[in-house]
Homo-oligomer: A and B are copies of this chain.
Amino acid sequence: MQFVDGQGDLTDRYEVVADTVGAGIEEWVLVSLGSGSRQIRDGEHRPIDAAVVAIIDTVTIGNQFVYSKRLQSR
């Protein structure tokens, strides 16, 4: 997974994350970091420190449109 910044631009920060929701390439996802990531299904006893918990549909900050899954997909 590659992090995005507040403007929705890709950053140089990457993290390996567990994924139980089936996220695809270029989809934005919501990630839980740390011990919370082991609350995903069957995650309790796995040595994970980051997990996808949701696929993001739309992001807006104030009135500013940042991301839409539909428009982003190609």
**Interface of A with B (CB < 8 Å)?**
2, 5-6, 12-14, 16, 30, 32-40, 43, 45-49, 51, 53, 61
Contacts and interface: CB of A to CB of B under 8 A. Distances in A.
A22 to B, nearest CB: 16
Contacts of A6: 12-14
B47 A37 contact: yes
9 contacts: A5-B12, A6-B12, A16-B30, A34-B34, A34-B36, A35-B38, A36-B37, A36-B48, A38-B39
Contacts of A35: 34-36, 38, 49
Contacts of A2: 61
A61 to B, nearest CB: 7
